[in-house]
Structure 1
Amino acid sequence: MRLTKNKLKVSSKEQLPFDVVFGFDMETDIGSFTPFYEGVRKGTPPLLKILKKHKVPATFYWTGHAAENNPVMVKRVRDAGHETGCHGLLHETLGDPIFPLPNNWPILPSEVEGRLTIATKIVRDVSGEQPVSFRCPRLWGSTRVMNVLEKLGYISDASFPLYFYNKPFVPYHPSAKDWTKPGKMKLVEIPNFCDLTMESNDPYQRDRDQWPLFRTKSAKVLMEKVENFLGYVQDHQKRPVLCFYLHPWEFYKMPQGALDFGECSVKPLPFIVKNCGEKALTEFDNLCTLLRQRGARFLTAKDLAMEYRTSTTSSPVKLAV
């Protein structure tokens, strides 16, 4: 399906056709806060069952370290028909930090290419497939990262945090000089959707974001943000893409409270680990059902990017309302 070829005629009362990309960041438990892989090993299998139940393809973004330490799970995900993507070498800051985190030192620009080259090779060697889709840890991308991805042959990136930059709100080819703006790169940037209709009360606009409402609240609450985003995009005559970012550790019960590591204790905020496990699995199941009922077309990041690359422009079908 080429998104720029045929105009769609819909009335303001009709439901807008839209696409969904589920991206799972395969990393250490609770992001950078632990060195463990309980989520990858025990949260991924029930997640795969839900995806199979709903016949939903997804993209799994593996850090090189996660892939190297979980080769059986990498192959299990691949053999289930899902895309194997890359999430960097470790769960580390590759791009431009958006908000402060303790003990967080970004990778130097001069280090980015080497680390991404190594990560790509590890994921390829473990999975037997060349990764062509990427996502930066924490959605902290940069112009340097995008240029390196282009050089390494990636065709899609899903690092763009729409809640912070606000636009572009549909997939686009970024500029080689500023990744947050449309340009002429072959790489396709897929924004992670948020609610652009609400007034933010957060200095970084994180209250607009999608994550992790499906488990801290419910799939129905998250669908309110989905509907607001779909309406916003419809008003701008574009075809919406709902790109989700999720993690396997959300689907396995995580420790609550402080985590002790010899010289220190780390205590994630309660919402970070709230309802991980059975509640998250139930609500993700519900989310798949609600999106399917709403008319979603599910596809991988690679497949979506290929449609944009083969189109004459980077914009999806415009809607005649």
Structure 2
Amino acid sequence: MGQSIRPGGRRVQGCAELTVLLTVDVEQDCPPYLETTRGMEEGLPLLLAILKEKGVIATFFVTGEMARKFPERIKEISRSGHEVGCHGDLHQRFDKLGWDQAKDSVVRGTETLEALLNRRPTSFRAPNLQMPTEYMELLENTGYRVDSSIAAYKPPFHRRPFYTGPMLRVPATITSSVLRLPLPLLKSCFKLLPSQPVFFLHPWELVDLSEEQIRLDCRLGTGDRLAENLSYLMDYYKGRGTRFITMQDLYEKQPQVRGDMPAGR
């Protein structure tokens, strides 16, 4: 990966080795359409088993709500060697929240995870990949180093990691529903992706939701198809000598900003 820069941002020197980031947004089932938590009860254990079998590490962005409801599940994620980041407190779009509401979500979600794991999270992703730039200050003041609340497929179409002040911003490469395509189509997609892709998925997508009354793109390919596609994805990249890394791993490859101090409001 080469250098990247965005207006108002800073250049990021790409990694010499081939790497891939697998990320997981841990939340209730398909919000806001469902109130169930089958993803936590069924999907998450299956996902952890697949990751263990393949020897792959991931970054899990966890809502404070799920950490309070399923503390042992979240501890298991951490014990398994994965990074635990924050997904806000409740699954609420930050672009719909005022400053005080957004601050409360960041702080409460962060403190919930810190109390549970005795470790403060340093990576953040907002629900629906929606985090206004002016709220970066909230993350900086709460101790975050990495934000992955942007997508390469949404305006302004950032394709590579970049900096907003001292915050490393890491775009998700494709939407999670792409990983649920029929495998022949998914194989074609892999050939078109950049050298350091960032994938994301949800535990509820590993549960068969095909009979639920939710949007087609939310239920299509859930369950066994995603489980099989994930196994293929891991084999595909490992077979090409690509290393799976976490958001924290990526940050540690960018030491030039560690001395920067976040600006006050």
TM-score for both structures, normalised by structure 1:
0.72
Structure ID, larger Rg: 1
- Tell me if structure 2 keeps the 8 A contact 1:191–1:243: yes
Deviating 4+ runs (over 2 angstroms): 3-8, 165-168, 220-227, 309-312
Partners of 2:134 and 2:156 in 1: how far apart?
21
Change (3 A) 1:143 1:77: same
Match in the other structure for 1:291: 237
Match in the other structure for 1:242: 197
Match in the other structure for 1:196: none
Task: For 2:190, give the aligned amino acid.
Answer: V
Partners of 2:73 and 2:187 in 1: how far apart?
30
- Tell me if structure 2 keeps the 8 A contact 1:139–1:161: yes
How big is the shift at 1:173? 0.8
Q: Does 1:143 align with 2:133?
A: yes
Deviation string 1:86-129 (CA, Å, 9 cap, x unpaired) is: 0001111013xxxxxxxxxx111332112211110011112222
- Tell me if structure 1 keeps the 8 A contact 2:148–2:169: yes
Partners of 1:23 and 1:53 in 2: how far apart?
17
Q: Does 1:227 align with 2:191?
A: yes
Match in the other structure for 2:219: 273
- Tell me if structure 2 keeps the 8 A contact 1:29–1:38: yes
Partners of 2:15 and 2:52 in 1: how far apart?
32
Match in the other structure for 2:58: 58
Q: Does 1:116 align with 2:106?
A: yes
Partners of 1:299 and 1:173 in 2: how far apart?
19
Change (3 A) 1:5 1:154: closer
- Aligned sequence identity (%): 26
Match in the other structure for 1:75: 75
Match in the other structure for 1:187: 167
- Cα-Cα RMSD: 2.2
Mark the runs of 5 or more structure 1 residues left unpaired by the alignment.
Answer: 9-16, 96-105, 175-184, 194-208, 231-239, 259-267, 313-321
Change (3 A) 1:214 1:7: closer
Q: Does 1:126 align with 2:116?
A: yes
- Tell me if structure 1 keeps the 8 A contact 2:15–2:253: no
- Tell me if structure 1 keeps the 8 A contact 2:64–2:87: yes
Deviation string 1:39-91 (CA, Å, 9 cap, x unpaired) is: 01211111111111221110111100011000010011111111111000111
Match in the other structure for 1:215: 180
Task: For 2:61, give the aligned amino acid.
Answer: Y
User: Which SS does the other structure have where 2:192 is aligned?
Assistant: helix
How big is the shift at 1:214? 2.0
Q: Which one is further off, 249-258 or 298-307?
A: 249-258
How big is the shift at 1:255? 5.5
Deviation string 1:19-56 (CA, Å, 9 cap, x unpaired) is: 21111000000122222211012111111111112211
Partners of 1:171 and 1:163 in 2: how far apart?
14
Match in the other structure for 1:181: none
Match in the other structure for 1:40: 40
Task: For 2:252, give the aligned amino acid.
Answer: M
Mark the runs of 5 or more structure 2 residues left unpaired by the alignment.
Answer: 4-11, 259-265
